[in-house]
Structure 1
Amino acid sequence: MPLVPEAPIIDTLSHGWKTALDFLDEPICLLDLEDRVVQANKTFFARLGHRPDEVIGKPISLFFHPEGEEVPCPVCRARYERRDAVVTLEADDPRNHAERSIQVRIGVVRDAEGKPTGIVQHIQDLTLIREAESKYLDTQRRFRNLFEASPDPQIIVNSEGIIEQANAQCFGVLGYKNTELIGESVEVLLPEQLRQRHVNFRQMFNSAPRARPMGHSELSCLRKDGRVIPVEVSLTPITIEQAVSVCAVIRDISEHKEAERELLRLASFPELSPMPIIEITRQGEITYTNPAAKVTFGELEMQGTAHPALSDLQAMVDRVVNSDRPVLRSIEVDGMVYEQQFSYVRENDVVQIYSWDITDIRDMADEMEYFATHDGLTGLVNRGEFDRKINQLLEQSVRENQTHGLCYIDLDQFKIVNDKCGHSAGDELLRQLGRLLQEKIRDTDTLARLGGDEFGLLLPGCGVEKAREIAEAVRKVIAEYRFSWESHTFTVGASIGLVPINRHSGGVKDVMQAADTACYVAKDTGRDRVHVYHQDDYELDRHIKNIEWAHRLQQALSQGRFCLRKQLIRPIRAGKRDRYELLVSMRGEDGKLYAPGAFIPAAERFNLIKSIDKWVINEAFSLIQSGHIDSNEISINLSGEALGDTDMVAYVINKLEEYQIDPKGLIFEITETAMITNLANAQKFMSIMTDVGCHFALDDFGSGVSSFAYLQNLHVDYLKIDGSLVRNSVTNKINESMVKAIVDIGHAMGIATVAEFVEDEMIYEKMLELGIDYVQGYHIGYPEVVEK
């Protein structure tokens, strides 16, 4: 069958489709009329976590409905019906099976005659949008609180000079309600004669934006009532949605100017000024300090020009002497920030220095800048700043041919903390881990919170091996950490994807997608480990093979290519009736039968095992109802997943009622490993089903972690002894003793024993000697297909 559509589809969409591939950052794909993927953009493959050659030519439902679907979902229905549609739904993420909200747009491609030739499917992850909106709203709320808390009017002006935000203080000083200013040109606040000059200044500022502190200039401001007032303005460039705007703080200095005039009137009385005033000669000799200067700058008289308030003094004196206007600067003295004005009094040939405390204003500006680049919960660098730093390292790699490392860290078991103790506990765990990891990394490294329970770590100047050492150290620190909340103590691990950054790495998105893929492999291969990304990746190849098996299983489920085989379980002593174990098998497209061991591991990995469990139960009960097998003669295998599924209990009970099955003769077989792994769930499941009337057999008993103690608390009627012990008991005394011990203790507890793998007469005689109750194996009977 062709893996690409006929030429008309490509001819119709070639230009538009290639444009979409090049520019769209949301998943989009082209399907043929048989629902197979023909082409897709990079984002589509990245979101699936697969390479193009893993996806092209395969049905799209494989990746979005790995368990199959009895009734087509709205998206599939729209495709099958060849109609345009927009569908919003909850769906599993193919990478981690987490539920996410998505919006899917279906567009039917038609030829000149209006006949369908293909389908375009565009997926928008609403969960990401909602998370981004939530983060944006949180940042906006913090910014708004700071913005509104300012004692002075503040406005935010975009690069076009339009006021986008204004706080409530604008009304008291400017006479405008903040809603009246939003959307207006900032020049509305200036007298007519100053507006064009301000437009020129704005254009110059936009070309080289930099912070301008309060006091850098005085302006005349036009109030709504027509009055002109003197103001000082501080300007701080800020980035909003990747566009540079400016936050302007406007301070009414009417009272200050009035006080200044009063000070001039009282020029002969500088001792009364509350402002620190220092007078020096052009050579830098202090000639006068007023009382306010002595109080503010404590040891000024003792230190003289060596005092921090007079740092770089001679350079400032030279500047103001050669200028026709005062010169401004900001300095820090004992943790306080001051704005200083140097004025040259030519007639006296002295320089006067006036200082204003602007610490609070500077702190507010710093806080606003901090929240623009940092995560509000952990205080770590946020995703936007992290991407910017990645881009810097990519440019450096190209320029200097250097290699760096990037770790994508995803916490394991974080959901348990949230589910058990709530989000407050989860938030505190993230804060504590952020502080812990920050202490362990180098000063040159960058640790960021990327969102949820995911962190990023940039390792400048690190080759792959050194980066791997650091990543392993980080993983070990997280694994050894113990988080306590109230009466609970938790351990969490981390799956880490490591990707080198070099001159061949591409862009920021390429690097992050590679790191995310490596992290996924680390989780998929057992969690709590580091996986280094490289294109020839064995684990990724293995993952692809499992996907292929999952595809075959999905097809077998949808096409009814599973069947049941029964194998005889014979009682050794008279008085007991024969029983049969039902074994599920899969028919290949060529008719070949595959035993459970061939496909069950893939079914468990891709969450298809529950569908197979339900198929087995339904098929077995159907065979009982139709008289092909007797309900008093069969054993049915259940997976470990079934034990933890509360829906499975209801499903079995409903099927018993639907098919009118007497449960008293039914035996469910569960492996010992599944029992121990899900002990609490197993006890609950077995208790309910025992009350219904069913019986249980513990399969593969003695295969590894056997303990007779827990048998006292379980409703077990049969112990099926592991086949390796049975087979070797003829030649191995230890195995013989183990089988004998299981038989004796089982009988003491009233539990019957079954020997598996009885393959010849010698093994059969040995089981008879050891007191086994039932035998099963090729010597007793081969599995036979149960035909309806």
Structure 2
Amino acid sequence: MTMTRVRPWRNLSLSVRIKLASGALLAIVGSAYFSLDLHNAIDFQRSNLEQGLQYELDFLAPALAEPALTGDYALIQQLLDQRVRQPAIQSIVWVDSGGHRLHNAAVATDDTRLAAPSWFARWLDFPGFARAKEISVGGETYGRIQVVMAATTAVNQIWQQMLSKLGNLLLSIATLFTLLGALVSNGLRPLYALKKAAQQFGQGDHALRITPSGPPEMQACIHAFNNMAANIEHLFGSLRASGARNRLLAVIVEQSNVPIITTDLQGNITSWNPAAAALYGYTAEEVTGQPSSVLHLPGATGEFEETLARTRAAQPSSFEAQRIARNGLVLDVLTSVSPLYDEDSRHIGEIGISRNITRQKRAEAALAKEKERAQVTLASIADAVVTTDTSGNVDYLNPVAEKLLGWRLDEAFGHALSKIFQGIDEVSGEPIDNPVDLVLQQHLQAEVRGDAVLVSRHGVRFPIEHSAAPICSHEGQSIGAVLVFRDVSASRNLARQLSWQASHDALTALVNRREFERRLESLIGSADEFGRQHALLYMDLDQFKVVNDTSGHNAGDELLRQLGALLNGRIRGADTLARLGGDEFGVLLADCPLDRAMEVAETLRLTVAEFRFLWQDKSFAIGVSIGVVAIAGRREGNADIMGVADAACYAAKDKGRNQVQASPNTRELNQRRGEMLWVARINSALEENRFRLHYQRIVPIQEDDAGGAHYEALLRMLDQDGNVVPPMSFIPAAERYNLMRALDRRVVCMAFEECRQRGQGATPAPMISINLSGDSLSDPLLLAFLKMQFADYGIDPRNICFEVTETAAIANLEQANALMVELKSMGCRFSLDDFGSGLSSFGYLKSLPVDYLKIDGTFVRDMAHDRIDAAMVEAINNIGHVMGIKTIAEWVENQETLEALRGIGVDYAQGYLFGRPQPLAQLPIPEFLPRESLAQPGPPENTLPPEDQIMAGF
């Protein structure tokens, strides 16, 4: 097998090397000489051509002057033909001032033919020369003479010169090579003699010596050979003298089960025992005399050089290395190398004892890989991880732990965990027990705790959840502990924000109706139990609708915000101001008797009356009607108290608005007043047909969704004067006094009649969404009524979608589910309205066969600027899509919100951005809604703000 790489230069003899080097040098010198000489020849020929051209012009100009003056064209032609016979002249042309042109006849001579090879002429690229001169006599011009000189003659002369000089150069090189060969052969004769002697010496003639001759260098080589021969002869004698000892040592080496290898000072293998042969697969005959690099991995030349350096330095050493066996298997070996001496204590090489540690190295590599995988895993997780030894001292921190604790691993390593992990109780502020100490003492896993605050190295505090567990070996022995903790600041903040939003109004930041009612129940309980006196104020703004109608909902929202802040500053810190919905507010006055409550109510009324709302270039004055109810030791629900306060408020409105009205002392009287007020109004509107339906578009907003027209029917009631009564004024009363069934049936009949009239020419007919209240969902006769209406009006059930609120559906889950299943079998569709407003479980959604989810507008309106609202909308949308339900976003009032909904993937949108609610007869019903209409606002209309459109049936 080839042990070293063969280089062609090393295989050449000295004579050939000298000749090649000399030839290369001569070629370089000759090329430089030829280049310089060729350049000179070109310059010389160029100069000759230019001089000849100038001579011809100087000769022809005076010679042609007289015939040009007399117009003797024959003489001019004769002169031109004579001169063109001169060498190197290619053509002569004469042109007079009148445009008459004469030129020489074509003359071909041997001098103008190209004698050099064509490639040489192309390589020279020698151009021709042309020059012209005016023929003037007495200041008058009589023509122009032009002479063109050919370069062929110059190229031929340059070619002949180069041929002559090339022959001389080649002759010189041949002569020099002959002389060099003779000199080298004569100088190498002693070397040939030395070679022959070395061959004889190798054949066993150890007494052979050579007489020095030749140059001093050859004589030095011969002296070295003679000294080497003498030393080897002496060595063989010593070896023969110590043969017995060497044979004993050889037996020991041969029988050893440990691989033993010896090398000389050049690193060549000199012995190889059977154990080495078994390990590497080579026999002693195959490797003896080979360099030890035969066992090295390919390309490991540096290691071989290190081996030679150790050998020459005669230094014992031990090292791990990789070796390659004959079958290509890579082995890891541990080698101990010591210098090897002869009987005269001369360093003659090395002896190496090897041990196969391949399995050990593989095990170590596997262990390191597992450790690396574990560290990468720990570094990749989002939780902070700290591991300790059995004494509770830190031995590892992942990057998250370093960031939270403020300690780097190299700083914390070896320190007690209690020094870098300092936690305190979130409530008491007292230090908490070290969780790792508890684990190491009790050998139990510590449960997750979320009531701790971590104090970092830099004093930063943040809440954490943490747990600890023991780390055990395969035998079950404890070898340390692991502490895992995470920063829960974001989740805590989110929980607090969600809790705040659940109990506060998003627009005014005041307490919402739910929290208000909870606090009212608390005050009622304290009044019943301890006899304390409290008061409730029910406030309804007057002329608020004027602001909305004239300046839009943005102005109305800003008015509510300013009034909320203003009124909140007029009550005590222990009192509660809440926005109950729309333009209605409530105040709870704790420990306040009725007379004092009346004074507070009057103060609030005056505050609102004196307030001037400025919007753009307009100023608005508004009022407020306030109903006051005492809470004093009566065991009654908040609904009754609220009803009494509501009635008192409307009594104030009936008396002319902007007044304070106390509730009657007798509750029954107050209830009857409320019943008569609202029951009479609603029944009168039903009898006089003063209910109207307006319709609002529901628009597909995704590119791949281009369905037909879809509208929601919204109920409006007109008073005796034809003015629109706010839905929140009569819908709560209708729900409270069981009038919703009648209203829902009236809405169905009105919608079916209008759909029949309007839908006769529409293809396809628009889909109409009709709201059903919770009271109607529990009506056992509703299904029969709806089937009859479908039959009477000839309405296709596939064009009708019934909307039920999330709260109503859950409250009547069994009846709602049965009704929905029956109507869906007919082709109707269902939409779950105000989804998310009640924060009820998504689990109920699986029980209801709905087609659309209407995302509550309180989350939609500010989602472009509120990440929590956007997250709620996205969560509802994702849940709906997972269940195969389309989603509809309410209260879409600007393009920014629309783009945010598109990005989330919401399917439909509904709001003032696409148009105000209008009677069906005024709405265009296209076959398909164009995409460009999605952002076009509808015409202004005296309608209600989005927060008033949250009740079923309008």
TM-score by length of 2: 0.27
Decide which structure has the larger Cα Rg and report it.
2
